[in-house]
């Protein structure tokens, strides 16, 4: 009984153990199985049978209810190395741990195999850890590193990694290329790097790098290097330092990118900004920029602030009507409406009052355009006060030209009338032409002198042009330099013409030896007086004309009227004598009077 | 003895002052006036002379050039108005270019037909036009 009892006891103990083990096996994470190897007739292990498994085994392998079945029954295409490995463990009795992937199961396991019952036993206990997931994440990490490398290469990013403890400095190919070097042709080193930096950026860069090492800071720098083909390139470097547990900096690493394109764009932007800012500042037009939404001034250039007498800061935030440019708020609104329809508005003539009350006429051209993020209005304001003034001046000049032209026509008309009365119709045309030519000669002189005055000697020469070869021999001039007023020049000029015509027909210039003496002078006593005479000698005997012709009228009355003085003509036998005297102020130009 | 009003004495010639700086034109105007039955009261070529003549007042009407040697004849026009003497403005300017002081006075543009000046003078003096 006892024995039985003992036997029962031992069975009970064994059951308890069994329960305990089973509980233990079921609670662990690892898969467990107990296998027994199966040999072929030649004693070679060819398969194994599952004797025990736990739930984790089923979970991990996905193989259910395998107890009593052989491995090949469960996984027919099981890789032979599994059997071989277990057979070796059973043979040697050495526990063996290995990692094994099974394509058939689509998983990777770490397996600890322990032979049971000593050497030569055919039973092996297996502990499976499914490391498929951790393997995958390792794989992912490797892949990640690879894709980072690829990305760096694709982004043409140079990478450096400098270990101060080992002195090892590592660059990727892109780093070499960026510095215009063939990859690995020279050792990667601080000196190699610095040797490729643009001299202008060198000192600042070295200081900044040294600081990053000293203060464990970030290293950021943009500098120029001699890039491929020794062209100057802009690069941006970003680096970090790493320290050991004692805080000693032991590594510097980072990336370098070529930023030439951005630099050039930035530089172009800066140049463009400078250029337009200068235009804005120096323009001889007022420029106001308005926010189209609020209608308020955002900016105004110096010309505008001068025009208005306000500082830019005083203008900013105001509306146009507040600075006296538009009449009122309604006008301002209507301008914006117009602008929205047509994009441009033009006001040809707006009155503008400056802060000091100065009135100006301005022309305003407003344009609506988009400034990237907001619609703005640019108003160009041009001061047209000066233009208006010159338009007025031009109008005045045209009136003057009109007046002079009409006056001259009236003179021609008068001459024509008188010429017609004076002689035969057959000679009318010739006589009129000669007088018009004389008149024109006087005009030429006036125009040449901007209608200011005419030198008397020039006037005589012009009117006696027919006799120019005799001037100095038979026509003798004497007198000071005298500049005559336009009216006096015209009257005296006509008289000289008539005297010359008369002398050539009947007087001293009608024979071979007669002479004409033309004298003029300016006397100061008692009042400044201009006097002039035309004296003929050596001509044929003079006969006093019976009737006063137009020529004589001109010689006498015209000249007299032109200078508001006295004129006389005498027909002495020895020669004609004409004299004229007038207040100098009626004859000479103001500048000439001031001189004498 | 009854009083008989005497018949109108033969009309005395109207005296006209010529204010014109252009001697040639003044001469022509002078001739036209003489031929047109007027008497020339004087010829003034400058503004000061014109003002002196106007002050003396020995004339019935005036022919006034608006520009005398570059000087506006405005003061002469004003003096004539003050004196109540009619005048004709002769000018090379267009009516739109004319100074305000002349506006309202009868005006002829240079150059002109002397007869039209005579007609205008007769109009302003209330004389019948000559046919």
Instruction: Convert the pLDDT of each residue in A231-284 to its tens digit.
Output: 899 999 999 888 888 888 888 999 999 888 888 888 888 888 888 888 888 888
Under 8 Å between Cβ of A190 and A203:
no
The answer to whether A452 faces chain B, any CB pair under 8 Å, is: no
> Quick check: B111 and A491 CB within 8 A?
no
Q: What is the pLDDT of residue B9?
A: 47
Question: Which residue, among B113, B117, B30, B37, has the nearest Cα to A553 in the 3D structure?
Answer: B30
In this model, does residue A11 exceed pLDDT 50? yes
Residue among B22, B31, B97 whose CB faces A411 most closely: B22
Question: Considering only A131-140, A179-188, B101-110, which range has the smallest mean pLDDT?
Answer: A131-140
Over the stretch A324-367, which tens digit does the pLDDT of each residue have?
777 778 888 888 888 888 889 998 888 888 888 888 888 999 99
| Top mean-pLDDT range of A441-450, A555-564, B2-11, B49-58 | B49-58
In this model, does residue A469 exceed pLDDT 70? yes
Between the alpha carbon of residue A505 and those of residues A294, A510, B8, the distances in Å are 89, 5, 53
Q: What is the pLDDT of residue A517?
A: 96
Q: Give the residue with greater pLDDT, A586 vs B40.
A: B40
| Top mean-pLDDT range of A110-124, A143-157, A419-433 | A419-433
Under 8 Å between Cβ of A53 and A83:
no
Q: Give the residue with greater pLDDT, A436 vs A100.
A: A436
Question: Which residue, among B88, B59, B64, B86, has the nearest Cα to B74 in the 3D structure?
Answer: B64
Average pLDDT over residues A375-389: 88
In this model, does residue A99 exceed pLDDT 90? no
Share of chain A above pLDDT 70, in %: 95
Question: Which residue, among A323, A319, A317, has the nearest Cα to A298 in the 3D structure?
Answer: A317
Query: How many contacts (CB atoms, under 8 Å) link A and B?
Result: 80
Distance from CA of B24 to the nearest CA of A (A): 6
Average pLDDT over residues B95-117: 85
> Quick check: B92 and A406 CB within 8 A?
yes
The answer to whether B100 faces chain A, any CB pair under 8 Å, is: no
Q: ipTM surpassing 0.85, yes or no?
A: no
Chain A residues within 8 A of B112 when measuring between CB atoms: 410
Average pLDDT over residues A484-490: 86
Quick one: DSSP state of residue B41? E
In this model, does residue A199 exceed pLDDT 70? yes
Over the stretch A44-53, which tens digit does the pLDDT of each residue have?
889 999 988 8
Average pLDDT over residues A202-213: 90
Residue among B24, B26, B92 whose CB faces A404 most closely: B92
* Model pTM score: 0.53
Instruction: Please provide the average confidence, as pLDDT, over all residues in chain B.
Output: 85
Between the alpha carbon of residue B9 and those of residues A452, B33, B34, B37, B58, the distances in Å are 53, 22, 21, 16, 20
CA atoms within 13 A on the CB side of A101: 7
In this model, does residue B40 exceed pLDDT 90? yes
Instruction: Please provide the average confidence, as pLDDT, over all residues in chain A.
Output: 85
Q: What is the pLDDT of residue A3?
A: 45
Q: Is-cis flag, bond preceding A128, omega within 30?
A: no
* Confidence band for B129, pLDDT divided at 50, 70 and 90: low
Q: What is the pLDDT of residue A97?
A: 85
Cα-flanking dihedrals φ and ψ of residue A272, to 5°?
-60, -45
Query: Residue A487: which residues within 8 A CB-CB, separation 6 or more?
Result: A562, A563, B21, B22, B45, B69
> Quick check: A410 and B93 CB within 8 A?
no
* Confidence band for A534, pLDDT divided at 50, 70 and 90: very high
Cα B125 from chain centroid? 10
Share of chain A above pLDDT 90, in %: 22
Average pLDDT over residues A386-409: 87
| Top mean-pLDDT range of A165-179, A376-390, B71-85 | B71-85
Chain A residues within 8 A of B114 when measuring between CB atoms: 417
């Amino acid at each position: 009984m006892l024995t039985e009892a003992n036997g029962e006891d031992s069975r009970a103990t064994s059951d308890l153990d069994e329960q305990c083990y089973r509980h233990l096996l079921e609670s662990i994470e690892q898969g467990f199985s107990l296998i027994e190897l199966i040999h072929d007739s030649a004693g070679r292990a060819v398969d194994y049978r599952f004797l025990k498994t736990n739930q984790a085994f089923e979970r991990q392998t996905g193989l259910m209810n395998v107890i009593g079945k052989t491995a090949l029954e469960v996984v027919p295409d099981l890789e032979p190395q599994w059997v071989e490995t277990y057979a070796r463990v059973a043979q040697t009795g050495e526990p063996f741990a290995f990692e094994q992937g099974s394509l058939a199961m689509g998983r990777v396991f770490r397996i600890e195999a322990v032979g049971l019952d000593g050497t030569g036993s055919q039973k092996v206990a297996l502990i499976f850890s499914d490391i498929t997931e951790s393997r995958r994440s390792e794989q992912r990490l490797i892949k990640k590193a690879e894709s980072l490398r690829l990305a760096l290469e694709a982004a043409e990013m140079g990478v450096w990694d400098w270990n101060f403890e080992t002195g090892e400095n590592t660059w990727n190919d892109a780093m070499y290329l960026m510095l215009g070097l063939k990859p690995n042709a020279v050792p990667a080193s601080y000196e190699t790097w610095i040797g490729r930096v643009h001299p202008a950026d060198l000192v600042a860069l070295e200081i900044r790098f040294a600081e990053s090492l000293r203060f464990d800071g970030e290293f950021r720098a943009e500098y120029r290097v001699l890039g491929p083909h020794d062209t100057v390139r802009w690069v941006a470097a970003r680096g970090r330092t790493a320290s050991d547990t004692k805080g000693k900096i032991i590594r510097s690493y980072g990336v370098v990118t070529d930023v030439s394109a951005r630099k050039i764009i930035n530089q172009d932007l800066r140049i463009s900004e400078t250029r337009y800012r200068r235009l804005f500042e120096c323009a001889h037009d007022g420029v106001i920029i308005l926010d189209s939404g609020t209608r308020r001034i955002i900016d105004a250039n110096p010309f505008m602030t001068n025009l208005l007498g306000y500082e830019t800061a005083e203008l900013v935030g105001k509306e146009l009507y507040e600075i006296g440019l538009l009449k009122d708020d309604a006008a301002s609104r209507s301008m914006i409406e117009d602008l929205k329809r047509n994009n441009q508005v033009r006001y040809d003539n707006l009155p503008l009052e400056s802060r000091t009350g100065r009135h100006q006429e301005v022309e305003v051209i407003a344009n609506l355009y988009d400034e990237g993020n907001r619609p703005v209005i640019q108003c160009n304001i041009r001061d047209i006060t000066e233009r208006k003034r010159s338009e007025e001046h031009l109008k005045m000049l045209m009136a003057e030209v009109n007046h002079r032209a009409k006056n001259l026509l009236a003179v021609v008309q008068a001459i024509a009338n008188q010429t017609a009365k004076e002689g035969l119709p057959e000679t009318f045309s010739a006589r009129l032409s000669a007088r018009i030519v004389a008149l024109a000669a006087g005009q030429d002189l006036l125009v040449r002198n901007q209608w200011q005055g005419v030198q008397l000697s020039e006037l005589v020469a012009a009117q006696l042009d027919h006799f120019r070869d005799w001037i100095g021999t038979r026509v003798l001039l004497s007198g000071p330099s005298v500049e005559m007023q336009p009216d006096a020049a015209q009257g005296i000029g006509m008289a000289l013409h008539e005297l010359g015509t008369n002398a050539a027909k009947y007087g001293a210039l009608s024979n071979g030896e007669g002479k004409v003496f033309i004298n003029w002078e300016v006397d100061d006593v008692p009042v400044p007086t201009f006097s002039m005479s035309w004296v003929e000698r050596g001509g044929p005997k003079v006969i006093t004309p019976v009737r006063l012709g137009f020529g004589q009228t001109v010689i006498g009355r015209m000249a007299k009227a032109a200078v508001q003085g006295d004129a006389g003509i005498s027909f002495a036998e020895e020669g004609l004598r004409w004299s004229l005297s007038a207040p100098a102020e009626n004859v000479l130009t103001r500048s000439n009077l001031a001189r004498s | 003895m009854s009083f008989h009003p005497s018949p109108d004495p033969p009309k005395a010639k109207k005296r006209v002052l010529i204010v014109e700086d252009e001697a040639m034109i003044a001469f022509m105007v002078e001739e036209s006036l003489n031929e047109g039955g007027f008497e020339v009261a004087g010829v003034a070529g400058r503004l000061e002379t014109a003002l002196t003549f106007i002050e003396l007042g020995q004339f019935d009407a005036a022919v006034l050039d608006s520009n005398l040697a570059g000087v506006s004849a405005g003061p002469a026009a004003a003096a004539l108005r003050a004196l109540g003497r009619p005048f004709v403005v002769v000018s090379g300017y267009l009516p739109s270019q004319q100074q305000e002081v002349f506006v309202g006075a009868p005006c002829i543009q240079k150059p002109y037909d002397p007869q039209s000046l005579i007609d205008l003078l007769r109009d302003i003096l209330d004389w019948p036009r000559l046919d």
